[in-house]
Amino acid sequence: MQFNFNNPYTTTRLPVFARNVVSTSHPLASQAGLRMLWRGGNAVDAAIAAAAALTITEPVSNGLGSDAFAILWDGKKLHGLNASGRAPQSWTPDYFQGKYGSGPSNPPKRGFDSVTVPGAVASWVALSERFGKLPFADLLEPAIEIAERGYLLTTVVQQKWAAATPELQALPGFAQAFLPWGRAPEVGELFQFQAAARGLRAIAHTRGQALYGGEIAQAIEKFSAQHGGSLKASDFAAYQPQWVQPIAKNYRGYTVHEIPPNGQGIAALIALGILDRFDLSALAVDGVDSQHLQIEAMKLAFADVYRYVAEPESMDVTTEQLLDDSYLAARARLIDMKRAQDFGAGNPVKGGTIYLSAADENGMMVSFIQSNYMGFGSGCVEPNFGVSLQNRGHGFSLEPKGLNPANLVAPGKRPFHTIIPAFLTQNGQPVMSFGVMGANMQPQGHLQTLVRMLDYRQNPQAACDAPRWRYNMGLEINVEAGMDRTSVQGLAERGHRMEVINDSYQDFGSGQFIWRAGDPKVHGYVVASDSRRDGLAAGF
């Protein structure tokens, strides 16, 4: 691929070129990953160190109680890891109806009844055991140091911290952990997280067992019971992440890989499969026709994903049926170039989050994502070990006859999940590890950045910096304030109901991209980090 390295968009970032690289949404996390590479570690070691550091430096997006997914190129083969959490054994529709009545369609948004067993730490251990080079405890040293000594708060993280405080300040453990002076820290103030340092040390010394059935799990069980939850240490002890085969779809001579359901990565593949029927390169990159086509393809994808995707064992259609070429061709024919539409699901049956990427000169590439889901997640923070717990349980359905019955809550089941790492190959060889964080913005970000790179040859940093749109529901979309005004007007004339948004972090996600430029020992990588967060692409 010969990229155009002229960047037409306003940005504070330039692409980075190096042989050993880490790209994350916080500079200290990127540096933690580089420390492992300097020590002789590989890309997996770097990714784990960066992920652990991010639980401290960006707690608005993730924590020790996060879930995670990864796609890894080991030098010869692609591997997928699903470390999303499972429901406590007590969770049934009757459990929630008994506590909250028959009205809610989902479990609560916050509190202990939104918490499934977190999988992120288990993903670190699994990746380290199978592919890492350095001792597991070494990988957590930078995060422990940052938690103990503290760090000065960065601009974007502080903004989101302050914004979340009114909703979360009364939740169990939140104020003790995250409001050290009775308020959110200010930009440039020192934040220390001694409890999380204790948690990280216990995890490091036991290779994760302290959290999965040990002293941390016991502490969480006690804390949960004190505040009306039903999480048990036995739920943690029973947890195991799952190695999976990524699903894939060809696009413009490349192959895009995503984690299979229960995640939403298939939405990006469906939308790309629809767009593959159109010659986007003949349309202006920021023009109304190109943007309209992408939006409509994304709508069609989400219509099917929200109807069918859940735990694979619960789905009544297969991923193969959803990605079938003839089915996608039929869906593509529904697009009207002159008007926006509100699509329903088809019938394919025949008969906050953080994202990071790391790569090394030996060719190993890691696409990794972990998340507490909505901002600080459940808002519940175990006080002795600083475990900030996600709220992924809110993604379950409580309605047996709802939009997606396959996503009905059940003991030990995984909910529909939004976080999705991605990977790009060509002719069976690695090309790019990438991802875009931000709830349902994630497949939309995958779609928009890939189209810019593969159809329009924009370099990864330019594709990352370009203004984005976000589909919400029905005919409603958001667009970034920097989007071409003529295109915005043209979309409105076709019936898209738009709101122009200035807060890019909140609505349009943030990505990291590592593109392999050739033999990594010789040419290395082209690396981008999204300017919508405090991130850093770094290498040597």
For the cut 80, the answer to whether the pLDDT of residue 287 exceeds it is yes
For the cut 70, the answer to whether the pLDDT of residue 351 exceeds it is no
pTM of the model: 0.96
CA 478 to CA 498: how far, in whole Å? 5
Look at the block and give the residue holding tokens 């159809």: 455
Query: Would you tell me how many other CB atoms lie within 10 Å of the CB of residue 376?
Result: 30
Which residue, 118, 116, 108, is CA-closest to 167?
108
Residue 342 identity (one-letter amino acid): D
The residues pairing with 478 across neighbouring beta strands, listed in sequence order, are 470, 499
What is the three-class DSSP state of 459?
coil
pLDDT at 401: 85
CA 386 to CA 195: how far, in whole Å? 5
**Averaged pLDDT, 381-402:** 95
The residues pairing with 242 across neighbouring beta strands, listed in sequence order, are 82
Which residue, 436, 445, 450, is CA-closest to 467?
445
Which residue, 131, 406, 146, is CA-closest to 262?
406
- Eight-state DSSP code of residue 153: P
Note whether 261 and 279 are within 8 A (CB).
no
Q: How confident is the model at residue 350 (pLDDT cuts 50, 70, 90)?
A: low
Note whether 138 and 207 are within 8 A (CB).
no
CA 433 to CA 502: how far, in whole Å? 28
pLDDT at 348: 86
Tell me the torsion sign for CA atoms 356, 359, 360, 365: positive
For the cut 60, the answer to whether the pLDDT of residue 56 exceeds it is yes
Written as one string, the DSSP assignment of 296-321 is HHHHHHHHHHHHH-S-GGG-SS-HHH
**Averaged pLDDT, 450-473:** 96
pLDDT at 467: 95
Cross-sheet strand order for the sheet of 67-73: 242-244, 78-83, 67-73, 365-371, 353-359, 21-24, 536-539
pLDDT at 148: 98
Note whether 426 and 253 are within 8 A (CB).
yes
CA 371 to CA 60: how far, in whole Å? 9
Note whether 429 and 449 are within 8 A (CB).
no
CA 377 to CA 114: how far, in whole Å? 9
Look at the block and give the residue holding tokens 């040293």: 141
pLDDT at 160: 93
What b-and-e string marks burial along 288-324, b requiring 16 or more CB atoms within 10 Å of the CB? bbbbbbbbbbbbbbbbbbbbbbbbeebbebebebbbe
**pLDDT tens readout for residues 11-53:** 878 999 999 999 999 999 999 999 999 999 999 999 999 999 9
**Averaged pLDDT, 419-444:** 94
**pLDDT tens readout for residues 148-204:** 999 999 999 999 999 999 999 999 999 999 999 999 999 999 999 999 999 999 999
How far is residue 413 CA from its own chain's centroid?
20
CA 277 to CA 279: how far, in whole Å? 7
Q: How confident is the model at residue 505 (pLDDT cuts 50, 70, 90)?
A: low
Per the annotation, the verdict on 353 as an active-site residue is: yes
79-88, 285-294, 430-439: least confident range: 430-439
Backbone angles phi, psi at 418, to 5 degrees: -100, -25
Residue 514 identity (one-letter amino acid): I
Residues listed for the chain: 540
Look at the block and give the residue holding tokens 């709508």: 299
For the cut 90, the answer to whether the pLDDT of residue 439 exceeds it is no
Q: How confident is the model at residue 78 (pLDDT cuts 50, 70, 90)?
A: very high
H helices of 418-537, in order, are 441-450, 460-465, 485-493, 504-508
| Catalytic residue selected from 24, 55, 319, 353 | 353
With a CB cutoff of 8 Å and minimum separation 6, the contacts of 333 are none
